[in-house]
Structure 1
């Protein structure tokens, strides 16, 4: 092997052609970033356009001058003046011109509004009481002649407000004639409903208060608009037939309707039942309802009827009538752990410390909330029939063994049974 060959290859390697690189495939349809022209993030503004923009901004939104600042100081406090100036400085008027847009919807708030006047649409109107009316408040009903005269006067007054330049005269077009007829009908309707057409008073201030909207709600001494629909509604409400079951229940409990409305009532079980008779299958609905005052009273009632409303009313009345006191430790949980079995259902209730909450199933949750329990845990290890779960929970809560009963049964004192002296706490 010749020695010159490796040397010749060594010195000739620089002049040898380089092998062609493998072509690279492009997986993008767009050109590479190096080949694209970079676009600016925002359009550039020329100096001439900027000058025009500044002129428009200064024209539409000028700064406060000395006279305007003096007027603002009369209306606003110094702290508010400082806040207004800070807000004006923070907002660039050029941004308002380029980015701002005026609202055109019916509920727009005008930009020029200084909020110094009350808007009857968006603002709450001021309310006044009878003490704001000087003089006497003696009102009298008007007769037919005085009422017709008052309606005519008020209708003309309303028309004058609608047409300040006077009523259109001469030959009228169809649209103008229609608008005039609608305006006259509206004016007469407003005049009939105006209290000034139904009552007469010598005191000028009291007469003005009849049509003043500031006296519309908090004016029990002034008469109200009493039309036929109001009288009919009042008559129907007063002649409403009272439920005889509710009347008997109130007599039995010696309660009033207000106290009865404070009872929390909820229907937990509703299903259909069928009774086979010689006349065929008679289908009815079964209701299981609970009732409680959320302060230590709880009741369960059942009802069944072919009419849905009748069966539910039966269950509600039975639940309220069956309410019994529920002993509560510290008005929040039970006295120890409870267990009750109804049929194949067994319910286990466990007392818990403050803040534990009601970690139970939904049926027991409703019972505990109606009874006023706040900290409770429960298990239903066997059958979970809804009716049996409700009845077992109710029986367990009503038949709790209290510490004083246990103490008497053992012949000991209450503090010895609770393993704590006065001022202590057990859970």
Structure 2
């Protein structure tokens, strides 16, 4: 063992120890105290000061070795095309497409693909892996072909009955071959499989009978096949629907709409269909809140008053009340349609004479008017007259104008009119001239 080793280690490993820094000395009380303090510096701290702690960075720094690992992983994930692979690509793509591929490969960094790239997991991703190099008949539009692509004669003639039957049989077999690539199942089938087979056969025959190749024939088979080729059509065929779980959940057909049980009972009560119900116009005229005092406290709810009419002699009024506003409105609409009553109309435009009806403290007076007079009434009576199909009318409300009472009084007055033939029958007379006898001879 060499003697120099400990010395070399001692000199090389020697490090200056951290000593306390001398603090500024206070003012000396005496010369001897000053000399003593100068000879022996003293600190007021009992422990040595610790160096300042470095703040940790928010993001760890990436070392050069890690970068090399990332580059290697990126090269393995997206390697550079080899010569053999480029030769294969030249067989599938044109030179312009290859140039575009190489430009894209040069622009996109492989390391970014490895770090940021990930497979799509959203519902709108493709249900299969595709490099989009070939045309998909479901999602891609077929290329438009011109008549120059058809070789030979392009003449057609209408097929006779025998040729039509042969063409239908041939096209139906082609359609069945598409549905059953492995052949039509034979032998004893289950009831479900037999029903599916019959449905497929019926669909194949129906499609074959509608195919233009079964209607026309010609000497050139290639030209005949273009009749059913969408690439030779001016209008592309409709793209088929892609059936998946997301499409079934988002698509909602008119036949799949939820039917309101209240509406179903109303249609059964009126013996109507939905088309006739759609002709009824409804409008909510009165909406306000009501409060019911119970032992449980005050129960607040909404009140609705709605009118309904077809604009051709039918008018109804309905009320509804519920804690939920939508429920109360539906109740009033259904009640108004259920309470539709006929409104007699003179010449399908006005009422028979003057009417007066009193409900509570509200009195409503209605007056017939000549053609072209219009509806000169307040807004509530205007809506009711328009729903009933009245075009010439005047009205007054000399007393209380409570909205609910005005609507009810107008409805009762319009539906309970005294007709001239009823008055004549009650008097035992014949109805001769309505205008001259019952309207004072005024002929409009």
Tell me the TM-score range normalised by the shorter chain. Answer: 0.5 to 0.7
Equivalent residue in structure 2 for 1:251, among 245, 252, 268: 268
Equivalent residue in structure 1 for 2:240, among 224, 227, 234: 224
CA contact (8 A) 1:407 1:417 kept: no
1:298 matches 2:315:
yes
Q: Where does 1:276-355 land on structure 2 (aligned, <5 Å)?
A: 276-355=293-372
Residue deviations 1:266-323 (CA, integer Å, cap 9, x gap): 0000000000000000000000000001000000000000011111111000000000
CA contact (8 A) 1:347 1:379 kept: yes
Q: Where does 1:113-262 land on structure 2 (aligned, <5 Å)?
A: 167-169=100-102, 172-174=106-108, 191=136, 193-194=139-140, 203-208=225-230, 214-215=235-236, 224-228=240-244, 229-234=246-251, 238-262=255-279
Equivalent residue in structure 2 for 1:404, among 390, 399, 421: 421
Between the aligned partners of 1:207 and 1:277, the Cα distance in structure 2 is: 76
Cα displacement (A) at 1:334 = 0.5
The residue matched to 2:102 in structure 1 has which SS?
A: coil
Uncovered stretches (5+) of structure 2, i.e. residues with no partner: 1-88, 114-128, 143-174, 179-210, 214-224
Cα displacement (A) at 1:241 = 3.0
Residue deviations 1:195-235 (CA, integer Å, cap 9, x gap): 77xx979944433259x68356xxxxx66334445433456
TM (norm. structure 2) is 0.50
Q: Where does 1:45-124 land on structure 2 (aligned, <5 Å)?
A: none
Between the aligned partners of 2:310 and 2:133, the Cα distance in structure 1 is: 53
Uncovered stretches (5+) of structure 1, i.e. residues with no partner: 1-155, 179-183, 217-221
Between the aligned partners of 2:134 and 2:364, the Cα distance in structure 1 is: 67
Aligned to 1:376: 393
Between the aligned partners of 1:187 and 1:318, the Cα distance in structure 2 is: 60
Cα displacement (A) at 1:193 = 2.4
Residue deviations 1:333-352 (CA, integer Å, cap 9, x gap): 10111111111111111111
Between the aligned partners of 2:329 and 2:294, the Cα distance in structure 1 is: 24
Aligned to 1:395: 412
Between the aligned partners of 2:135 and 2:307, the Cα distance in structure 1 is: 51
Aligned to 1:77: none
Residue deviations 1:13-46 (CA, integer Å, cap 9, x gap): xxxxxxxxxxxxxxxxxxxxxxxxxxxxxxxxxx
1:413 matches 2:430:
yes
CA contact (8 A) 1:296 1:371 kept: yes
Aligned to 1:85: none
| C-alpha distance 254-160 of structure 1, shift in aligned 2 (>3 A) | farther
CA contact (8 A) 1:420 1:426 kept: no
CA contact (8 A) 1:288 1:315 kept: yes
Aligned to 2:157: none
Between the aligned partners of 1:189 and 1:248, the Cα distance in structure 2 is: 56
The 10-residue stretch of structure 1 (341-350 or 408-417) with the greater mean CA deviation from structure 2: 408-417
CA contact (8 A) 2:435 2:442 kept: no
Cα root mean square deviation, aligned: 3.9
| C-alpha distance 168-258 of structure 1, shift in aligned 2 (>3 A) | same
CA contact (8 A) 2:302 2:324 kept: yes
Equivalent residue in structure 1 for 2:383, among 342, 352, 366: 366
Between the aligned partners of 2:235 and 2:304, the Cα distance in structure 1 is: 50
Aligned to 2:22: none
Paired residue total: 256
